[in-house]
Chain A
Amino acid sequence: DGGITQSPKYLFRKEGQNVTLSCEQNLNHDAMYWYRQDPGQGLRLIYYSQIVNDFQKGDIAEGYSVSREKKESFPLTVTSAQKNPTAFYLCASSTLYGRHLDTQYFGPGTRLTVL
C-alpha cells in the first residue's frame, strides 16, 4: 500500500526535552512538508523540502528542525526552544511535476502534548 506514515501517533514531552517525529512516504514524492495544527485553527507550515539534503523554513520554523537525508523520510525535531509545542503535527508529501499536476496528501498525524 502506498502512503504516508507518521509515528508515534501520540507523544508526550517533558519541559526542556527535544523530541523527534517520524514521517515516511513510499509514494515516490519529491516534496515533503510539516504542518502544525492547533485546536480550531488552520494548518501552519513549519518546514518543507523539495529535494534530498535541502529544505526551507515555513511560517513558524522557530524551535523546530528537520533533515532530509533520504527521499522517503523527513523527520521533525521539536526542540526545547519551542515554547508551546502542544499541537497536532501533520506530515504531507506531493509530486513536483509542476503547474496543476501536483497534489498534496497527508499522513495520519502525531499529537504532541507537553507535560
Chain B
Amino acid sequence: QKEVEQNSGPLSVPEGAIASLNCTYSDRVSQSFFWYRQYSGKSPELIMSIYSNGDKEDGRFTAQLNKASQYVSLLIRDSQPSDSATYLCAVKDPGTYKYIFGTGTRLKVLA
C-alpha cells in the first residue's frame, strides 16, 4: 500500500514566522508532488507542485523535495492568520493516474 504521511498537527506559529510543513512518501519511484491548502468546509486548492530535487519558490511559499530521503516540505514565510488552514500533501502514483493524499496538517497562525 503506497502511503503519504503527514503530522496532523495542529502546528501553531506566530504571525510573521516561518511555518514548516513536512510530508514523507513510501513509493521511491514517485515523480510528482503537490501541496494543497484546504480551508474548513471548502475544497482543496493547489498551492504548488514540484518535480525536481531542491527548492521551488512562489511568493511566500517554498516547496522542497528530497527524493533520496523521500520527503517533501512546504515553507510559508511571513505567515499570516489567513494562512490558517489544513495543508494536504499529494503524490502522483506513477503506475496509475491516481493521486495519493496525506491526511493533512492543520496550521494555525496566531495574530
Q: List residues of chain A with CB under 8 Å of any chain B CB.
A: 31, 33, 41-43, 45, 48, 50, 56, 58, 90, 92, 94, 96, 99-100, 102-109
Interface centre among A42, A58, A92, A102 (most CB of B within 10 A): A42
> Closest A-chain residue to B49, C-beta based?
A103
Q: How far is the CB of B79 from chain A (nearest CB, A)?
A: 22
Contact A100 B43 (CB under 8 A): no
> Closest A-chain residue to B52, C-beta based?
A100
A42 touches which one: B49, B96, B101 (CB < 8 A)?
Answer: B101
Interface set, chain B 36-74, CB cutoff 8 A to A:
36, 42-46, 49, 51
Assuming the contacts A108-B43, A109-B42, asked whether A31 and B97 have C-beta atoms less than 8 A apart, the reply is: yes
> Closest B-chain residue to A42, C-beta based?
B103
Contact A99 B32 (CB under 8 A): yes
Contact A103 B46 (CB under 8 A): yes
Chain B residue total in the interface (Cβ 8 A): 22
Contacts of A31 in B (CB 8 A): 97
> Closest A-chain residue to B94, C-beta based?
A99
Q: How far is the CB of B86 from chain A (nearest CB, A)?
A: 9
B25 within 8 A of partner (CB):
no
A42-B103, A100-B92, A108-B43 are known contacts; what are 15 more A-B pairs with Cβ within 8 Å?
A: A41-B103, A42-B101, A42-B104, A48-B97, A92-B99, A96-B97, A99-B31, A100-B31, A103-B34, A103-B46, A104-B46, A104-B99, A106-B36, A106-B44, A109-B42
Contact B88 A45 (CB under 8 A): no
Contact A108 B46 (CB under 8 A): no
Contact A43 B101 (CB under 8 A): yes
Can you list 8 A-B contacts with CB-CB less than 8 angstroms, sorted by A residue number?
A33-B99, A42-B88, A42-B101, A42-B103, A94-B97, A100-B51, A100-B92, A102-B32
